[in-house]
Structure 1
Amino acid sequence: MVSETAGDRSPSPAVARALTVLETLVESDEELTLTALAKKANIPLATCASIVYTLEQRDYATRRVVGRSHFWRPTLRLYGLATQLIRKVDLSSVASREMRDLADQLGMPVHIGVLTGSSVVYVAKAAMPGFIQFDTFPGKVSHFNLTALGRAIAAYLPEEELTPLLGKLERGYGPKGKPVDEESFRAELARVAKQGFAVEDQEEQADIACLAAPFFAAGGHVTGAVGVTSFARDLTRDKRKQAQTGLVELAGVISARLGATDL
């Protein structure tokens, strides 16, 4: 956290204080009163009030009024800005060398996917060595709940973004595809969030299995996922553990390069 003293040494102390207030709101696990916010940000109360009212005016903060108390929290406008920024980032080049290394290590193609509506779009691929190639390519579109990539992303979406997707769940065409409802899918997402990666095993397509781990941008917002595709018979035991470890590590590298911290 930037203190007021550090802010006063900044080229623009006013901007430094505004950013400190905004960061304090985002980092807090609960709504804050103006007094608590000023104390936590180490900024004079009157200055903090001016800043937070300006943030409210620009739709970066909102408040809940209970009696004479006002409880402040940030809005998702920041997420909207982050989303626009990520669209300008060439994700195919963020960790291309590391993707190539993991594909060579596992003998499996490595992909990056992002969520667009209720679909996952593959935006980058490091193909595996050899003659056998899977039908995965940049530009491919799959329904989000039928892919490990989509599940890895959905597990970390804020509720207001996840809820509309839950009405668009689809059954897979693979031998392990089964009817899916909101309750069971939420339970699956809870498992994904707990273990840090997602699995899809012959639900979308026969004989094919996938693993994926999410990555994040600044502010901790989920931005996409990195995953591998393999024959289901090959993605078991030690190989599966190796893939899980490699993907979680690679997702961490991508998150760091996108500005995510404290994950």
Structure 2
Amino acid sequence: MTAPPGDDMLSRGLRLMTVLADNPSGLGVSAAARTAGLPVSSAHRLLGRLAAERFVAYDEDTRRYALGVRVLEFSRGFQRSPAGYSAAAAPMRRLAARTGLPAIAGILDGGEVLIVLSAQGTQHLQLRSAEGTRNPWHATSMGLALASVLPEEELAALLASDLPSPTAHTVTDPEALREKVARARERGWAEVDEENEVGVRSVATVVPDLDGAVRPRLAISLGATVVLTTWDELHGHVPALRACAEEIASLMG
């Protein structure tokens, strides 16, 4: 196997960790090596070193490797850093308590929205909102809101990219999506109805940029089930959602 240019030990180790992040139930050495495009012998050595440093964990019973506790420690360190989003946590908890709905924060990462924070509401809905979860940008209210503040060339690139359909309700036509983004830009918030999860609707807004884009733009959303929350009820929470975004901006700025 020919290694790609610049394929040093660090990049190989990071590839293995990325593969394990995409497979939370863990992988054996051969599967991890194959997925990462590495020789089994190299993967075995690297995984052993990563396990010694607690970046990965090895399960003797299943003979699988998974991400280790050091990754969680790194994540917590990032959240506390100036580039992190820990300042959003308290306002989001208050928003969730006030509305009863889960408050979720995410950033745009390529063609996906990466969830970086979440606060559970009193309804305790089981949504795809765990930190680290990725969802297609065009199927989420956060993705549409974040797309609404992009320069035209970046928006065009998103619209020209792969647009999967998580549900039968997902809008994938580029022109229709452009209209949804334009509406979000005009209103200052976006919405989706069962486009990412069947039975779930949401609204989202972007946290105003007060720091000159030191970090990726953050969006905040409220999710609800179609059974428990009508559109009128969810729309009624938009002012509180936008106030939360303003508070986060002042804290992060």
TM-score normalised by L of structure 1:
0.60
SS of the residue 1:192 aligns to = helix
Measure how far apart 1:130 and its partner are. 5.1
Query: What aligned pairs does 1:172-183 form with structure 2 within 5 A after superposition?
Result: 172-178=165-171, 180-183=172-175
- CA deviation profile, 1:172-194 (whole Å, cap 9, x unmatched): 3324234x222221111110011
CA 1:165/1:234 → structure 2, altered by over 3 Å: closer, same or farther? same
1:235 counterpart = 2:235:
no
List structure 1 runs of 4+ shifted beyond 4 angstroms: 219-222
Does structure 2 retain, via aligned residues, the 8 Å contact 1:91–1:124? Answer: no
1:139 counterpart = 2:142:
no
2:245 to 228, 251, 257: 251
Partner of 1:94: 87
Structure 2: gaps (5+ residues): 1-78
SS of the residue 2:221 aligns to = strand
Measure how far apart 1:93 and its partner are. 1.7
CA 1:92/1:232 → structure 2, altered by over 3 Å: closer, same or farther? farther
Query: Which has the higher mean CA deviation after the structures are superposed, 204-213 or 239-248?
Result: 239-248
Aligned pairs, number = 174
Partner of 2:157: 164
TM-score normalised by L of structure 2:
0.62
2:148 to 142, 151, 155: 155
Query: Which has the higher mean CA deviation after the structures are superposed, 143-152 or 228-237?
Result: 228-237
- CA deviation profile, 1:63-115 (whole Å, cap 9, x unmatched): xxxxxxxxxxxxxxxxxxxxxxx995354421322211111111111011001
Q: Among the aligned pairs, what percent are the same residue? A: 27
Does structure 2 retain, via aligned residues, the 8 Å contact 1:169–1:181? Answer: no
CA 1:220/1:154 → structure 2, altered by over 3 Å: closer, same or farther? farther
1:110 to 103, 106, 110: 103
Measure how far apart 1:243 and its partner are. 1.9
Letter paired with 2:196? E
Q: How far apart in 2 are the matches of 1:244 and 1:139?
A: 25
Q: How far apart in 2 are the matches of 1:218 and 1:92?
A: 14
Measure how far apart 1:202 and its partner are. 0.7
Q: How far apart in 2 are the matches of 1:131 and 1:195?
A: 29
Letter paired with 1:106? T
Structure 1: gaps (5+ residues): 1-85
Q: How far apart in 2 are the matches of 1:88 and 1:163?
A: 32
- CA deviation profile, 1:117-154 (whole Å, cap 9, x unmatched): 11100000111235543231110000111100100000
**Higher radius of gyration, 1 or 2:** 1
1:200 counterpart = 2:192:
yes
Q: How far apart in 2 are the matches of 1:169 and 1:201?
A: 20
CA 1:102/1:154 → structure 2, altered by over 3 Å: closer, same or farther? same
Letter paired with 2:193? D
CA 1:138/1:90 → structure 2, altered by over 3 Å: closer, same or farther? farther
